[in-house]
Structure 1
Amino acid sequence: MSSIDAQLQLPPLARLLAALAIFVVSALAALWLATAQPWLGLVLQAGDDGLVVLVDVQREDLPNGLRPGSRIARIGAVNLHAIDVMEEPDTLNSYALLNEFRARQAELSATLNQPQVLVGFAGDNQSIQTVVVAPYAGRPAWSLPFEFWLQLFVGGAGALVGGWIWALKRDRPSVFLAISGFGLMASALSASVYSTRELALDAELFRMLNAGNFVGTNIFGLALISLLLSYPKRIGGSLVILAVWTIGLGAVVAQLMQLMPSQSIGSYGPMLAQFCIILALVAIQYIASRRAPLARAALGWFGLSILLGTSVFVFTIAVPAMLGVEPHTRQAHAFGIILIIYCGIAIAVARYRLFDLGIWSFRLTSYLLGGMLLIALDAVLIYGIAIERIPAFGLALLAVAMLYLPLRNFLGNMLARRTGVDALRVREVVDIALTPNVTLRQEKWRGLLDSAFAPLSIDLAAPTDRARIVDGGQKMLVPFTKGTPAMCLHYAHGGRKLFLQTDADRVQQLVELMDHALASRDAQEHGARQERTRMARDLHDNIGAQLLRTLLSRDPERKDAIISETLTDLRDIINNAQGTGLVLSEVLADLRFETDERLAAVDMELRWDMEIDETQAVDARLAHTLRSIIREAASNTIRHARARNFAVRMRVAAGELHVHISDDGVGVSDHVGSHDGGLVNMAARAEGHGGALTISSDSGTHVFARLPLETPSP
């Protein structure tokens, strides 16, 4: 096979175009042959009485006596029988019947090629009437039945899908798949001409077309056998494949030379043998691929394709013909079943979304089995127990619904069940996110993935933003999170299964949950840090100022009052007091009295100037910020400035409260190292309220603050 492939080293596009060209030429040839035959304009069908029934009239210039329902008794001098309009002569039991059929076709073809043809038919009175019909030289394409175009489509699909796989892949299985596709095309296109003929074809043309159908069908079967010998595991060498083709083509030659025991055995015996060999190879491949999940998934698709297609074709066409029973399935429709086989195998060979095919295989197979079971039970009730058709169908449907469907659902759930993510994983993810140690967090994350999907191994991987399935389901990439690296999981369930797309979706959900949990933890920690900073700042600025005020007070009663105020401030700090509707002038009045009392205790004078509306209302947050800034500034002046005067000036402008605090002390540069924490706190408070604070040292210390009267959004 390597030598064949070496001779066909064409670019992929050239291969696909070559397959397309072969099909187009073959399809045009089939269409030309079908339309080049003499045409009476009659649609004929075999009747139950062994005669030929006129089903439809397709020409308007025919005699009025010819109408649907009439029995066509003879054409020229040839008396017609139902056998003359049969679609597939291969269903005849003996070579003698086949040769007789071909002789009658030759005689009828010669008659139809005459300028005028006598058509004898039986009307309503059962008497034979004769009319003269002038056959057209050719058959219009619009008169060709649906079955012709169906078989043309099947042949094209086989050739193009096979050519597509062959174009994309350069291995032995793709070559056999392409061969099977062209075999299907040859079989379908040959059958499309003779199985949809109006009445007869030239004997030699009929023989060639019938041989083309037979040879193409066997090439298709032999190529499938060769494919299963090579894929998914190579279980047969070149000599085995050569032997298969030698024996198979030898049987074809023997049938064409009419050397087989009977016509039906020669036509359908090789097909039945090929089906049995395919089933045996499926079993062998199943054993050979028990440790290869990817190969087993492909094999499952093979089994589905064979079950849906080959078995239906064999048991509805081949087996009845070999038993001498007329098949009830039209050959054109059987080709549609074969196309299902081919497309299924093409998908498996191409490994297109292979990780999803296992459950598809089960679902479609279970539907097929359910339908077959329904038909079988219906037949047993009708023919075995003699129940009427309608009650029998109802009982069969009830039995399938109550017995088969629950079993199917149970097995489907068992097959579809994967070790994945459930509600309990949410708690695990949150616990992992809250783990402070990075190494321990990564170990727990790896353990979660291992318990959820039981991969054969877990390795570090290159960063990726989303979970992805690669290598046909053999690997699954897990994206990185804020606290864990990207990882690659190899083979699910200990190497016995492939990863599904649903697994990737679940991993993505886990990753997003982990990121959310980590972000929530970071936000919580950030909020806690901010709250601790706020409380430390308030304790330093407010409680410290109040305690200093208490120490400087000489009046015991006043000390008690200050301590009571301090406790109130402490509760506000702890509770982070909020509220609105405080009158700014009242807040400043209390603050002025408190500041004056503190300064007076150290013989320092206070100058307090305000240009504000007496009714201006503020919220508790602004009041707390303003109180903290003035207290801290006063504390710094008392402790470090060695000043005699302390001034506070306030005014409202452009929706802001402008505050200027100053003293006449030594300035901030000489003592910044000792109380820089307080200065930072004042700036942080102003900025936290949406304002700004600056400090300068020019003839003392000057603090300038701007505080919006409206509370900014947090």
Structure 2
Amino acid sequence: MFDRIQAPIPLMLSGAVASLILVAFATYIACQTPWLGLDLSYDESQQLPQIEVVHSPASNLHLQVGDHLTSMSVENSTDAVSLKGFRLHVEPPSHANYAEHNALLKREEEVASLLKHEKVWVTTEAGNTTELTVLPERPIATLGYEFWLFNLFGLIAWNVSLAVWAIRPRETAARLLCASGAGFFFATLFNSIYLSREIALAQDLFLVFTRANHLGLAIMLFSLLALMAYYPRRISRPSPAIYLIPLFIFYQANETFQWIEWPLHTYYLPVLLLYLAGIVVAVYQWRMSAEVPLDRAALKWMLVSIFIIMGLGLAIYFLPLVLFGEAAFPQWAMVGTASLLYIGFAFGIVRYRLFDVDRWWLAIWAWFLAGLAIVVVDFALISIINIHPSAALAIAVIAVGWIYFPLRQIAWEKLHPDAPDPDDLLTSQVERIVQAMPPQRTDHSWMRLLIDAYKPANTNISSQKTESVSLHDNGAVMVVPLLLTVGAVHLTLPNHGRRLFSLKDRKHTEGLLVIAKRILAAHEGERIAVQQERERIVRDLHDNVGGHLLTLLRRAPSKEFEQPAHKALKALRESMRILDGNPLQDLTVCLQDMKAEVEEKLIDTNIALSWRQSLNDDSLEITMRQAININHILSEAVNNAVEHADSNHIQIRFEIDDKGLALTIVNDGATRINPETKLMRGRGLNNMSVRTTELGGHFEFSIENGFATMLSAVPLNSR
């Protein structure tokens, strides 16, 4: 782990240092441009440059903030250069066609040629002419905030993309991302130079900077398009580079040699077309990733990062320029929005391991930024405040420790807000495991616990035999063994698809699995002990009580004594069967025995029996407990009809439906009992209701027009 973190650090540090050197070089170039000591803006209403700030040179004291400059000239010149309509800080490619583009460069050259002299004369709208000294270089403090913002945005894109490539140097996707970040950095670097010009640049220099800027922009856009064509799957058997490289070369050559002038906007229409091409490629990728959850999740995040952010950049800058000739927002806002693309990739790496970058990517950045922060603070203390190097280093370490590390911890918590804390969940999860031990709901409760803990986007069960928890597809899937049956639970993308499973998740689940298996083992030992005790009781009942009842039954002097002994022996055998493990009974056979008992009870009466059973399935089974309770309910109902009513006919129906088994008994002659009195709720009816409730069913009894109706409906899956 230590070696893996350390390995990319030198490359990242080298890239950061190289980029800072280039920014320093751009700063030097920007400061070497001629300077009049003015900060100017363009007044749209007057169509003239307007003074915003007058700096310290004495020759500028005749100019005031708010003055409009109408022309500029040099000594011994017969013609002054008009500044009417001379827009400041405009980049040539923002013009819609080559003619306007070239005209801007030509006019910039006219003004820039004046700045090659030591003195120039500027005329204000009031008619005042002032002599200005042309300084060969400008102070760094006058470059303006846009210069620094452009380079900050470029540094963000470059260093994020470089970090991905440093970790996965052989991955095509990582290389393309790094190329796009490099293109973005060079585009902002050269853009910052000519955008921060005071008035004008020489045509040749201006053209070099704008070409370099658009080359960087093209590298960024084509690299992102190639990235979508290669990641997460290559969209075509021939390499997409076969199509993209010639297209890139033609795109650049056409801008340089001005072959074809595109409609609407010859410079920015291709940018819109590349965006549409990206949508087509994204549709291909979306279809290819339909059956691959990790690819689909990574693709979702990447497409959101690219299309929403790039679409926002198009909306606030490129589209208004193409359609209306003016941008809706300043260029720095568009560049800042585009830099969010790389920040989005950084979040995608944390959440979904984009480009196969592991989660320790954050640890690398933590190491890198901590070291960089100490170096920067140390350098600032030595160079700006002139503190002794040894003291400066100590102060830098303390400052970084007090500021950087707390901020890093806060950022880490913000990046992982949904990750479960095993320590907080452990107590409740162990309690749920203990409660889930009845065998018929153990695996269901185990799966429910995992779903509640990780909130996966998808869950399914397979017959895969596994003994341990494992991660697959770079953490997109976690496979967890079931507890009692052979199989495993497959959890896909936790937190509703917003992150991947981590090693911490796997270790936590392994701990829960160990606890669950130990609890199962303890319950199994308890079950065996209970079963052994049951078997001992059954033996004692059989050998002692059963033997005495058989002796009493054989020696009974008459039927009057024989019948109670027979019933007692039957009840004993039923109890012994329940204690013997609650075996299943064939429902059809049980009903046949029940019918025989009812017929035997009615032999000495004049009551007719109508027996009907609609089972639809002769293989149905019920537990011994169900069979005993149903038989007692039936026997009690028949006794009531014989003893408490003047019945001539009893109807008994057994029916099966989706809800279970329904027993309905109807007898006539129920005229002795007033339905309004509470006498009808005697012990017999209460026993029938209790037995029905014990089986998880519902019980009803009513008397109407001399007919008593009893319904006992019980679910057959009740245990």
| TM-score range relative to shorter protein | 0.5 to 0.7
Quote the offset at 1:65 in angstroms.
3.1
CA contact (8 A) 2:191 2:213 kept: yes
- Of the two, which has the highest radius of gyration? 1
Q: Could you tell me which amino acid in structure 2 is paired with residue 54 of structure 1?
A: I
Q: Could you tell me which amino acid in structure 2 is paired with residue 153 of structure 1?
A: L
SS at match of 1:213: helix
Cα distance between partner residues in 2 of 1:459 and 1:58: 79
Q: Could you tell me which amino acid in structure 2 is paired with residue 151 of structure 1?
A: F
SS at match of 2:58: coil
CA contact (8 A) 2:429 2:449 kept: no
Tell me the residue number matched to 2:58: 61
Quote the offset at 1:278 in angstroms.
0.9
Instruction: Assess, with a 3 A threshold, how the Cα gap between structure 1 residues 214 and 432 changes in structure 2: closer, same or farther.
Output: closer
Tell me the residue number matched to 1:97: 100
Tell me the residue number matched to 1:602: none
Cα distance between partner residues in 1 of 2:207 and 2:295: 42
Tell me the residue number matched to 1:326: 326
Tell me the residue number matched to 1:353: 351
Quote the offset at 1:210 in angstroms.
0.5
Quote the offset at 1:317 in angstroms.
2.2
Tell me the residue number matched to 1:184: 184
How do 1:655-694 residues align onto structure 2 when only pairs under 5 Å count? none
Instruction: Assess, with a 3 A threshold, how the Cα gap between structure 1 residues 456 and 516 changes in structure 2: closer, same or farther.
Output: closer
Cα distance between partner residues in 2 of 1:197 and 1:489: 64
Instruction: Assess, with a 3 A threshold, how the Cα gap between structure 1 residues 432 and 82 changes in structure 2: closer, same or farther.
Output: same
Tell me the residue number matched to 1:541: none
Quote the offset at 1:265 in angstroms.
2.6
Cα distance between partner residues in 1 of 2:514 and 2:240: 55
Instruction: Assess, with a 3 A threshold, how the Cα gap between structure 1 residues 499 and 321 changes in structure 2: closer, same or farther.
Output: closer
Quote the offset at 1:231 in angstroms.
0.3
Tell me the residue number matched to 1:196: 196
Instruction: Assess, with a 3 A threshold, how the Cα gap between structure 1 residues 309 and 509 changes in structure 2: closer, same or farther.
Output: same
CA contact (8 A) 2:35 2:138 kept: yes
How do 1:255-654 residues align onto structure 2 when only pairs under 5 Å count? 255-261=255-261, 265-345=265-345, 347-348=347-348, 351-354=349-352, 433=434, 443=443, 446-448=446-448, 454-455=459-460, 457=462, 460=466, 462=468, 472-476=474-478, 490-492=490-492
Q: Could you tell me which amino acid in structure 1 is paired with residue 434 of structure 2?
A: A
Cα distance between partner residues in 2 of 1:450 and 1:199: 66
CA contact (8 A) 1:445 1:484 kept: no
Cα distance between partner residues in 1 of 2:353 and 2:292: 13
Cα distance between partner residues in 1 of 2:436 and 2:316: 65
SS at match of 1:85: coil
CA contact (8 A) 1:433 1:441 kept: no
Pairing partner for 1:29 from 25, 32, 45: 25
Cα distance between partner residues in 1 of 2:254 and 2:23: 28
1:149 and 2:148 aligned: yes
Quote the offset at 1:324 in angstroms.
4.1
SS at match of 1:201: coil
CA contact (8 A) 2:95 2:325 kept: no
SS at match of 1:55: strand
SS at match of 2:240: helix
Q: Could you tell me which amino acid in structure 1 is paired with residue 251 of structure 2?
A: A
CA contact (8 A) 2:345 2:354 kept: no
CA contact (8 A) 1:180 1:224 kept: yes
Instruction: Assess, with a 3 A threshold, how the Cα gap between structure 1 residues 118 and 495 changes in structure 2: closer, same or farther.
Output: closer
Cα distance between partner residues in 2 of 1:43 and 1:495: 53
Cα distance between partner residues in 2 of 1:48 and 1:494: 55
Instruction: Assess, with a 3 A threshold, how the Cα gap between structure 1 residues 516 and 178 changes in structure 2: closer, same or farther.
Output: closer
Q: Could you tell me which amino acid in structure 1 is paired with residue 322 of structure 2?
A: M
Q: Could you tell me which amino acid in structure 2 is paired with residue 191 of structure 1?
A: N
Tell me the residue number matched to 2:540: none
Pairing partner for 2:41 from 42, 45, 48: 45
Quote the offset at 1:504 in angstroms.
8.3
SS at match of 1:75: strand
Q: Could you tell me which amino acid in structure 2 is paired with residue 475 of structure 1?
A: V
Cα distance between partner residues in 2 of 1:417 and 1:102: 54
Instruction: Assess, with a 3 A threshold, how the Cα gap between structure 1 residues 63 and 23 changes in structure 2: closer, same or farther.
Output: closer
SS at match of 2:268: helix
SS at match of 2:62: coil
Cα distance between partner residues in 2 of 1:201 and 1:258: 22
Cα distance between partner residues in 2 of 1:203 and 1:16: 37
CA contact (8 A) 2:190 2:213 kept: yes
Q: Could you tell me which amino acid in structure 1 is paired with residue 49 of structure 2?
A: V
Cα distance between partner residues in 1 of 2:289 and 2:450: 24
Please list the CA deviations of residues 11-59 of structure 1 after superposition, one character each: whole Å capped at 9, or x if unmatched: 7445434533542342222112101011112111111221111112233
Cα distance between partner residues in 1 of 2:180 and 2:432: 57
Instruction: Assess, with a 3 A threshold, how the Cα gap between structure 1 residues 297 and 59 changes in structure 2: closer, same or farther.
Output: farther
User: Which shifted more, 265-274 or 57-66?
Assistant: 57-66
Cα distance between partner residues in 2 of 1:428 and 1:161: 39
CA contact (8 A) 1:310 1:338 kept: yes
Instruction: Assess, with a 3 A threshold, how the Cα gap between structure 1 residues 31 and 426 changes in structure 2: closer, same or farther.
Output: closer
Cα distance between partner residues in 2 of 1:99 and 1:494: 56
Q: Could you tell me which amino acid in structure 1 is paired with residue 228 of structure 2?
A: L
Cα distance between partner residues in 1 of 2:273 and 2:64: 46
Cα distance between partner residues in 2 of 1:143 and 1:195: 13
Cα distance between partner residues in 1 of 2:107 and 2:494: 66
Quote the offset at 1:173 in angstroms.
0.5
Give the TM-score, by structure 2 length.
0.54
Quote the offset at 1:448 in angstroms.
3.7
Quote the offset at 1:321 in angstroms.
2.2
Quote the offset at 1:129 in angstroms.
0.6
CA RMSD, Structure 1 to Structure 2 (Å): 4.6
Cα distance between partner residues in 2 of 1:299 and 1:285: 8
Cα distance between partner residues in 2 of 1:263 and 1:132: 45
Instruction: Assess, with a 3 A threshold, how the Cα gap between structure 1 residues 68 and 517 changes in structure 2: closer, same or farther.
Output: farther
Q: Could you tell me which amino acid in structure 2 is paired with residue 287 of structure 1?
A: R
Cα distance between partner residues in 1 of 2:517 and 2:14: 57
Instruction: Assess, with a 3 A threshold, how the Cα gap between structure 1 residues 180 and 135 changes in structure 2: closer, same or farther.
Output: same
Quote the offset at 1:445 in angstroms.
5.3
Quote the offset at 1:132 in angstroms.
0.9
CA contact (8 A) 2:468 2:510 kept: no
Quote the offset at 1:501 in angstroms.
6.7
Cα distance between partner residues in 2 of 1:72 and 1:64: 15
SS at match of 1:353: helix
Please list the CA deviations of residues 522-564 of structure 1 after superposition, one character each: whole Å capped at 9, or x if unmatched: 99x99xx9xxxxxxxxxxxxxxxxxxxxxxxxxxxxxxxxxxx
| Identical positions, percent | 23
Instruction: Assess, with a 3 A threshold, how the Cα gap between structure 1 residues 128 and 427 changes in structure 2: closer, same or farther.
Output: closer
Q: Could you tell me which amino acid in structure 2 is paired with residue 23 of structure 1?
A: S
SS at match of 2:86: helix
1:72 and 2:69 aligned: yes
The answer for unaligned runs of 5 or more in structure 1 is 1-9, 358-415, 530-714
Cα distance between partner residues in 1 of 2:516 and 2:466: 22
SS at match of 1:37: coil
Quote the offset at 1:456 in angstroms.
5.2
Q: Could you tell me which amino acid in structure 2 is paired with residue 281 of structure 1?
A: V
The answer for unaligned runs of 5 or more in structure 2 is 1-5, 74-79, 356-416, 530-719
Cα distance between partner residues in 2 of 1:207 and 1:247: 22
Tell me the residue number matched to 1:216: 216
Pairing partner for 1:112 from 112, 115, 127: 115
Cα distance between partner residues in 2 of 1:156 and 1:218: 18
Q: Could you tell me which amino acid in structure 1 is paired with residue 207 of structure 2?
A: R
Tell me the residue number matched to 2:130: 131
Give the TM-score, by structure 1 length.
0.54
Cα distance between partner residues in 2 of 1:510 and 1:78: 80
Tell me the residue number matched to 2:700: none
Instruction: Assess, with a 3 A threshold, how the Cα gap between structure 1 residues 249 and 491 changes in structure 2: closer, same or farther.
Output: farther
Please list the CA deviations of residues 497-537 of structure 1 after superposition, one character each: whole Å capped at 9, or x if unmatched: 57667998899699879969999x999x99xx9xxxxxxxx
Instruction: Assess, with a 3 A threshold, how the Cα gap between structure 1 residues 509 and 470 changes in structure 2: closer, same or farther.
Output: closer
